Chain A
Amino acid sequence: GENVEQHPSTLSVQEGDSAVIKCTYSDSASNYFPWYKQELGKGPQLIIDIRSNVGEKKDQRIAVTLNKTAKHFSLHITETQPEDSAVYFCAASINFNKFYFGSGTKLNVKP
């Protein structure tokens, strides 16, 4: 089955700096890659996603890039704010079926 690896496991940045989280996947048939943010005591919430026919997608301070050849995708958060502090998960799926999640990145934005 699919194997998704996520790095780093923890990331600490100063408020206003950028944060980058990287994921790799193993199954070249995967074609949908969502990113989730999980705040303490809550369920993961979808923040952005990208499909295999697109190389980059941006939504305000958040962007995701996909390199299908290398089988990796990344989440970029610019101008980080304390409220961005959370655990972020990447995932991969084939045709929106079973999602395989990365192991999560705990982002800490220091004021």
Chain B
Amino acid sequence: DTAVSQTPKYLVTQMGNDKSIKCEQNLGHDTMYWYKQDSKKFLKIMFSYNNKELIINETVPNRFSPKSPDKAHLNLHINSLELGDSAVYFCASSSGTANYGYTFGSGTRLTVV
């Protein structure tokens, strides 16, 4: 069973469209994250939710809106997509304070054309 699963794996869309990426974890973790990995492989945190509550919100355009319906799911909705949004987006989860690193999903490669 996949611990952290993201869908879709690939997403190609035109500028100006709205798209969503879904993430689910079956590890029982309390905390989930969205990271963006740019073309130079740099990983930067975007958001973090703990038990459905937003706890980290980095300097991310308002066009990005995370939603956590329950602690096992964290979705990312992006409005009015721009060329610069092209990247690989990773979902991750952790047990928060319980002494361990992240478990990452396999990523969603978003290409805006």
Contact = CB atoms under 8 A, between A and B. Distances in A.
Interface of A: 32, 34, 36, 38, 41-46, 49, 87, 89, 91, 95-99, 101, 103-104, 106
B96 interface: yes
A22 to B, nearest CB: 17
Nearest to B104: A43
B41 A104 contact: yes
A98 B99 contact: no
B13 interface: no
Nearest to A33: B101
A46 B102 contact: yes
State the main secondary structure of chain B at its contact with A.
loop
Contact of A43 (B44, B90, B99): B90
Contact of B107 (A32, A42, A87, A99): A42
Given A103-B40, A103-B42, A95 B106 contact: no
Given A99-B101, A106-B41, 16 more contacts: A32-B101, A41-B107, A43-B4, A43-B105, A43-B107, A44-B43, A44-B90, A44-B104, A45-B104, A46-B100, A91-B101, A95-B97, A96-B96, A96-B98, A98-B45, A104-B41
Nearest to A104: B41
Interface string B69-113: 000000000000000000000101010111111111111000000
A43 B33 CA distance: 13
A50 to B, nearest CB: 11
A99 B102 contact: yes
Nearest to A106: B41
Interface of B: 4, 40-45, 48, 56, 90, 92, 94, 96-107
A44 B93 CA distance: 12
Contacts of B43: 44, 89, 101, 104
B107 to A, nearest CB: 5
Contacts of B90: 43-44
The 6 closest A-B pairs by CB, nearest first: A43-B104, A34-B101, A101-B43, A46-B101, A104-B41, A43-B106
